[in-house]
Amino acid sequence: MQGLCKENAHNSGRFEHEKRACEALRQLARTLLLLLLNHSKMEIRAACNKFLKEEWESLWNKCMAKGHARQDKLAANPLLT
């Protein structure tokens, strides 16, 4: 019986690890989509190439700049939601 309990505890730990890994991948996918699709249709290919070249900082900065511009626009005219 003790062997079974140890095995279940081991499987439980593995499940928690897999659950965290899945959540990390889910968050990565959401972030990746925001970084790449926050561009115009013509810029998406360039953004994908930057991502493949590991130029993530420039993608992040551009995404943040667009977000700040959107916040400023909404603050100036809250009816544009």
DSSP run (H or E) holding 56: helix 56-76
Distance CA 18, CA 20 (A): 5
* Verdict on whether the full-model pTM lies above 0.85: no
The pLDDT, as a whole number, for residue 81 is 56
The pLDDT, as a whole number, for residue 51 is 82
Return averaged pLDDT per consecutive 10 residues of the chain, 81 residues in all: 44 72 81 73 82 85 86 82 56
The structural domains of the chain, with segments of one domain joined by +, span: 2-80
DSSP run (H or E) holding 37: helix 2-37
